[in-house]
Structures are given as structure tokens and as C-alpha cells.
Amino acid sequence: MRRALFPGSFDPITLGHYDVIKRGVKLFDEIVVAIGVNSEKKYMFSLEERKRFLEEAFKGEPKVRIETYTGLTIDFCKEIDAKFLLRGLRNPADFEFEKGIAHTNSKLSEIETVFLLTAPETSFISSSIVRDVIRNNGDYTILVPEIVRVNSK
């Protein structure tokens, strides 16, 4: 089975994340969308909310499973027997950042990283931009899946 892990904080899930996952489903037998838990990070949405957003966004997609994890991403890959990491790239800065992580992961494990370019219409979206728009009472609805629009703070 070709299982890929798509890790992130998903605070919140954006249309960019959604697009990469939907396109990744065509490449893998299963995608495990994994919410990384970092106790030192301050989140806008609780872990339960983020997990619910993802579960609702992909409730009709049997090839997508939602999990949470702590620790090293490659350790979680081994735990769930994922041979691939799926990552989205928006711009050259993302590539440079992700390249270093991918090289480190390949030195520490046999996990292969697969990059998908984000769609042009979502390439400007990041969770931090969405959070900033929400904090400032802006219209964030064109940046996130419907489940986030309906249930955000």
C-alpha cells in the first residue's frame, strides 16, 4: 500500500491544504492527514476543532484518514507504516525550507518526500494569513473550506 503522511498544524485548514490533499489522493492509496501537536505553540483553534474541520472536509473521501501526533514526523511515519511524506509548495521560499527537512528526513529514515505545487489560485494562502484576517475581522471565507467558514470563531 502506498500510504503518505501529510503533516501540519492546520490552524486552520486552508483551501491550499485541501487542494494538495485532494490531488494527492490520486497518487496514493491512502493519505493520513496528521495534525502535529506542539505544546509550546499557541493555536487559534483547539486540536479538537482542527481535527473536526479536517474530518468534515474529507468525510466523503475514504482514502483520507485524520490523526494527531507528537514528536518527530518520521517516527510517526514509521508508526503508521507511511513510506511517503506529502508536502505542498507555494513558492521558492517553501521549497528551500522543505528541501532541508526532506534531506534530513531521508538521512534519518527511508521516508521519501513528494512535493506538489499548489494550484495558482491557492498559492498565496497560508494558515498564518488566514489567522491574521480572522483576528482583524476580515473576510476569510474565500481562503478556507466551508466547514471552517461555518464554525470559526
> Sign of torsion, CA 30 69 46 113?
negative
Please enumerate, by residue number, every residue annotated as part of a binding site for substrate: 9, 41, 73, 87
| Interatomic CA distance for residues 69 and 75, integer angstroms | 10
DSSP secondary structure, 25-86, as one string: TTT-SEEEEEEE--TTSPPSS-HHHHHHHHHHHTTT-TTEEEEEE-S-HHHHHHHHT--EEE
Please enumerate, by residue number, every residue annotated as part of a binding site: 9-10, 17, 41, 73, 87-90, 98, 122-128
| Interatomic CA distance for residues 117 and 135, integer angstroms | 28
Biggest CA–CA distance in the chain, Å, is: 44
By annotation, the residues acting in catalysis are 17, 41, 90, 127
What φ, ψ does residue 109 adopt, rounded to 5°?
-160, -175
